[in-house]
Amino acid sequence: MLATLGSSLKARIAVVSVLLFLAGISLITFFATRILHDDMQAMLSNRQMTGVSYIARDIDAKLTLRQESLKRVALNMPPALFTDPPAMQQWLEDRKAIHTLFTIGLMVVPADGGPTIGDAPRLKTRPKSFVDRDWYIAATSTGRPVISKPLIARATGEPALVIAIPVFDNDKKLLGILAGVTPLAAPGFLDLIHGTSPGKHGSYQLVSPQHRLFVITSDASKAVTPIPAAGDDPIIDAAIKGQRGIKIIRNAALQDELIATAEVPRANWLLVARQPTDEAFEPVSNSLRNTLLITALLSLPSIIILLWVLNRLLQPIAQLARELHDMADGTRPMQPVATHTADEVADVALSFNRLQERLRSQEQRLAEMAHHDMLTGLPNRRMIDQRLDIELHRIQRNQLGLALLFLDLDRFKPVNDTHGHAVGDLVLAEIAGRLTRAVRDVDTVARLGGDEFLILLTDTEKPQDAAERVAQKCIAALAETISINNLEIHLGVSIGIATCSSEQAATMTVKQLVSQADTAMYQAKAEGRNRYALPPTTDS
């Protein structure tokens, strides 16, 4: 019967099959690229914000190091040196350790702002008076340490920064100002901005909003230059008005830019990373374009081959169209398409399989992020709650018990305040490793957030004994010195223990068990910290 219908029917069938194939591929490609576009855009935005936050914290830490180091030098400066310039000069030259932080020099300016009492290194180009300098005026009027506005050093003619520390005698009388001058281009200071940029056409801009100056930018020629007037640059205007975090903003040329803004609190600066959205999201555009190109390139040969050798290709194409149609309609689960040939139809199927695998990998990554702490890799609150719920039901059947330890680090906040969040993050990762090594493989260590952790002990005949042994191991493990970035950090831990037997499990909820452990943890803190405690018992 097919032979009598002639080739025209086969051609029509081939055309219909190709149209169905293209429709299915187009639908899948459309939805897949939309998902991919949104996920990749969020990922790229978060990556830019993470980078800007890291650079801002790095700059703030380096400013803090310079200011605190100079304060220590000022505190140790003998008042008698202010009346003995040669001795002052020698004393400054002997402070070699701090010279690396202030390579333009250290200066001691008398209270009247006259010529320096001492400066190291000696420079003939040092000014004879400093009464007009903002840092001198601020330091002498407030009596507090001052970070100057970005300026051009008169001694060397290069962009620089001055940190000024007032020095007083025992009667609180101002003796003078100890000033350290560091070039903005000093190695190890602003290297993460100087000469670098987010992408090929983006830029970093470190801004001093109170002085309306660029401190430094990816373009070194803009260092210590005025920022655009209000209204001339919407991106800088938004940052000064309080825009923080990540956002897409249209610039003065009516082009969209991906903007990430973070604060440098020590100097009241703002770090702005700006990158054209076309460049920032180029991987998304490339992926979409390549997917569409592959689909288009495979479609035309498929049509030609289908028309040319209809008897061989009609059935595989019809089968492929049915499978894709069923997957698109939801009547068939998403799964790899089987291939039985080695031609363009197989290429289309393999392309679909690769696209499907990429989507599956993204879903797996999202699931991992939803159930694990990104810093330590430990299970998060959601996952530990799920496991607790499962174990509470399971121990009702196996007649065993479980224990829950609530851990809160002692003296962790000063680590963040003193050494910065970057060091704090490394400390938390190290602690996570130590806690994991202190328990069995079947037990679970989770991070709730901040400096709080949970440990779930399962399948124990004597939950309290097991919990106390593990608590002692954890206290001992965290008592050992933590060495991070040449720092020695000492912490403790307060632990609250809650247990549940198989008889109690029927009426125990996850919330109740966590609350008991939390209450016991606060009891441990109240008893002196760095110990464990059980929840208070009530007499029946």
Pick the closest to residue 455 from 517, 410, 509 (CA basis): 517
Q: Is the pTM of this model over 0.75?
A: no
Do 77-183 and 381-533 fold alike per CATH?
A: no
pLDDT given at position 362: 61
Average per-residue pLDDT in the chain? 85
Tell me yes or no: is domain 381-533 CATH 3.30.70.270: yes
**Tens digit of each residue's pLDDT (9 = 90 or more) over 24-55:** 776 776 676 677 667 766 777 888 889 899 99
Adjacent-strand bridge partners of 272: 205, 261
- C-alpha–C-alpha distance, residues 23 and 30, integer Å: 10
Element (H, E) at 57: helix 7-75
Q: Kindly report the CA angle at 347 between 346 and 350, in degrees rounded to 5?
A: 85
**Tens digit of each residue's pLDDT (9 = 90 or more) over 359-374:** 666 666 655 556 789 9
Beta strand 492-500 pairing with 532-533: parallel
**Tens digit of each residue's pLDDT (9 = 90 or more) over 246-270:** 989 888 888 888 999 999 999 899 9
- C-alpha–C-alpha distance, residues 474 and 435, integer Å: 6
- C-alpha–C-alpha distance, residues 264 and 422, integer Å: 15
Cβ distance 150 to 158 under 8 Å? no
Cβ distance 196 to 123 under 8 Å? no
Extents of the domains making up the chain: 2-41+282-369, 77-183, 193-280, 381-533
What average pLDDT score do residues 4-20 get? 62
What average pLDDT score do residues 468-495 get? 94
* pLDDT level of residue 4 (50, 70, 90 thresholds): very low
Amino acid 400 reads L
Residue position matching structure tokens 């400390």: 427
234 backbone dihedrals φ, ψ, rounded to 5°: -60, -30
The superfamily (CATH) of domain 193-280 is PAS domain (3.30.450.20)
Cβ distance 207 to 270 under 8 Å? yes
Q: Kindly report the CA angle at 253 between 250 and 259, in degrees rounded to 5?
A: 35
Pick the closest to residue 205 from 180, 256, 230, 240 (CA basis): 240
What average pLDDT score do residues 174-198 get? 89
Active site residues: 451
The CATH label, of 3.30.450.20, 3.30.460.10, 3.40.50.2300, 3.30.1460.30, for the domain at 77-183 is 3.30.450.20
Weakest-pLDDT range from 93-97, 172-176, 263-267, 276-280: 276-280
